[in-house]
Amino acid sequence: MGERLRVVLATPLEEELCVLIEDAEPRIELVRDHSLLPSQRHPGDHSGDPDWTRTPEQQARFDELLATADVLYGIPDVDVRALRRVVEANPGLRWVQTMAAGGGASVRAAGLSEEQLARITFTTSAGVHGGPLAEFALFGLLAGAKSLPRLRRHQAAHDWADRWFMGQLEHQTVLVVGLGGIGIEVARRLQVFGTTVIGTSRHGGAPPEFVDEVVHPDELEAAVGRVDGIVVTLPGTAATEKLISAAVLDAVRPGATLVSVGRGTVIDEDALVGALRDGRIGFAALDVVAVEPLPADSPLWDLPNVILSPHTAALDEAEDRRIAELFADNARRLLDGEPLRNVVDTVEFY
């Protein structure tokens, strides 16, 4: 029958989607014991019920299953320590599918050796969340253009204020920082509004579809001075940390809108607070922050021109299905000797 892949389910997944994976790629042996995994509280809940625990006997059975896997579907318990234990205990492990689009951060945090990183392919769910995150970005840009903080302020004061001009995305220019799957989806949606889109790329070349102009990340300070909105979609890596720096925020066009849907570490948060307070950033919609959960003493909680989303904008009811379909396609690719999609770069970990 040729090569088969023994895949062990390491994260909660509905049985219906387990069958979907098996039907899509019959050469997979998808081993699962749902009694060893917590129940999901909602679609996309890869950690499962936090109050659920395994008995010592269940943990031993779970560890035994993981040690027999060619492939892991998910990081066990979404715990990098568990990932490291499995890698060390299972010399036959070939591939780990992470549930997060930014799964490279978990691979880095596991502290694996060069030999282990070379032996195992890690893939992410990048692209699966592009649509929902792009919609959140549009929500943020529209909220900024339509003066949401001002509207809320007048409403709270029961003040039927004088009229004022609101912005229109049709007349605006938006900078999309990162033209990966999320960034392209943002640009595609903005095209419908007639927005001018500038994107960033380290690789240069002609602008991709839906993008009017491409600039290098080193040119951010010059670019932000001519845009009305900024959407940050980049993963958290050493190269992207605080890329949206104090100098970049000093150079923005006053009143610009900022939306963050990548990783919070890409933005210098202290500098962002200053820019929000003095109006350089007129409005910010943040689905991610540098430290999650956001500390209770963060000024971001109380700034009137900020909307906070607890890293939930990517979730929708179809997420688990899309990851399952992505995984099945990658399994076919692996078995047929084709390149896998969304392979983690184990130098920069994205």
Residues involved in catalysis:
263, 292, 311
What are the φ and ψ backbone dihedral angles of 155, each rounded to 5 degrees?
Answer: -65, -45
Q: How many CB atoms lie within 10 A of CB 234?
A: 27
Instruction: Measure the CA–CA gap between 59 and 39, rounded to whole angstroms.
Output: 16
CA-nearest of 145, 150, 147, 151 to 174 is 145
Instruction: Measure the CA–CA gap between 326 and 124, rounded to whole angstroms.
Output: 10
Query: What tokens were used for 272?
Result: 């962002």
Instruction: Count CA atoms closer than 13 A to 155's CA, side-chain side.
Output: 6
What residues form DSSP beta bridges with 29? Answer: 6
Instruction: Measure the CA–CA gap between 48 and 198, rounded to whole angstroms.
Output: 39
Instruction: Measure the CA–CA gap between 240 and 237, rounded to whole angstroms.
Output: 5
